[in-house]
Amino acid sequence: MCGRHATWVPLLEKLGVELPVVQAGMGAIARHGLAAAVSDAGGLGTIGILDPPALLAELAAARAITEKPLAVNLLLPFARRGHWEVAAEADAVVTFWGKPRRRTAAAWLHQCGSVGEALAARDAGADGVIVQGVEAGGHLRGSLPALELLARVRAGLPAGYPVLLAGGIAEADDVRAVLDAGAEAGVLGTRFLLSRESRAHPDYKRRALAGSETVVTELFGAGWPAAHRVLPNAATERWLAADPRGPAWMRGLQRATAPLLSRAPEAMQARIGARLRSSHPLLGPRPATDDGPESLVEAGPLYAGEVVARIGELRPAGELTRELAG
């Protein structure tokens, strides 16, 4: 299905996913409870990247809850052989960041921030792409609003090639709008971050429910120096007064240490994360989870998209999935 002259079948239909609703991978925030609830309701649930044994355990736990298709999300700069071995057990793999390359026999979607990246993913054999708009929560791959990027990507790819859209979706009307614009499905992070099943720390969820402003920064770039959209917290207040990206010297330090930090073993990263305070000059991408250090609520990234302003309550993920599909 990946040749230039192939006839494209809607990817979700091929996978047996009934509803045009995909829950984004969100690292340790998106584990089996969330992914299984979304998939079981008819959408496509995604388990976020974890170290390989934990990822395998989460996938097995999700399989015990639902027989529906499940996806695994891999961040290419951090994915090692063990991650790909686990991903082979999933129905779909969603990759993000870095040079797209086929490493799996499962259905493969690559999340992109530009037309060039979408074409590269298609040429590398991706079964479909997710276009990510700049309004999205988490790490930002491009700079265009999602619907504008969708139109450009659609124009550059063969008719019918599966294109999904991420960024700015919170309600059924938003899903309908992206389907009308030619996307096969909507991909939602922030809305599912604010579900009962998400493993975000309760104070992170409270902040997000109360918050409306987000900031695009590079502040939490230790090990992954790149732009990301977050809610304000003590760390952003401490460091972003002069430049929303963060102090230039700090970004330099992040770039210099990234090759080392991005390869640090999970146990070491967890130890570093537990000791972080908002005044620390090397803040990392690990978000606050309900089983992690509470200090990360102030010293870690509170990833959230612009839609956070329109979300006022925590909801069960299955109910959300059905409602979003209209």
Ligand X SMILES: Cc1cc2nc3c(=O)[nH]c(=O)nc-3n(C[C@H](O)[C@H](O)[C@H](O)COP(=O)(O)O)c2cc1C
Using CB under 6 A, list all residues that contact ligand X: 24-27, 29, 48-49, 73, 75, 96, 111, 132, 135-138, 166-169, 187-191, 193, 303-305, 307
Q: What's the Cα-to-Cα distance from 22 to each of 26, 35, 265, rounded to whole Å?
A: 12, 10, 30
Q: Which residue, among 230, 206, 205, 213, has the nearest Cα to 309 in the 3D structure?
A: 213
For the CB of residue 7, give the shortest distance to ligand X in the complex, in Å: 28
Our CB check for ligand X shows the closer of 190 and 233 to be: 190
| Cα separation, 140 vs 43, whole angstroms | 24
36 versus 112: smaller Cβ distance to ligand X: 112
Ramachandran region, residue 246 (left: φ > 0; alpha: ψ -120 to 50; beta: rest) = left
Cα–Cα separations (whole angstroms), residue 54 to 28, 37, 51, 61, 190 = 10, 19, 6, 10, 23
Q: CB of residue 275 vs ligand X: minimum separation in angstroms? A: 22
Return the number of the residue (6 or 210) whose C-beta is nearest ligand X. Answer: 210
The counts of H helices and E strands in the chain are: 14, 12
- Beta carbon nearer to ligand X, 40 or 174: 174
274 Cβ neighbours under 8 A, 6+ residues apart:
292, 293, 295
Least distance between ligand X and beta carbon 297 (Å):
13
* Position with the least CB separation from ligand X: 189
CB closer to ligand X, 212 vs 279:
212
CB of 181 to ligand X, least distance (A): 16
Considering the complex, what minimum distance in angstroms separates the CB of residue 147 from ligand X? 13
Instruction: Please classify residue 233 by burial: count the beta carbons closer than 10 Å to its beta carbon, then call 0-12 exposed, 13-18 middle and 19+ buried.
Output: buried
* DSSP secondary structure letter of residue 89: T
Question: Which of residues 25 and 273 has its CB atom nearest to ligand X in the complex?
Answer: 25
Q: How far is the CB of 248 from ligand X (least distance, A)?
A: 26
Minimum separation from the CB atom of position 21 to ligand X (A): 11
Identity of the residue, 40 or 135, whose beta carbon is nearer to ligand X in the bound complex: 135
How many residues in the chain? 326
Tokens of 46: 């995604």
E strand or H helix that includes residue 273 = helix 266-275
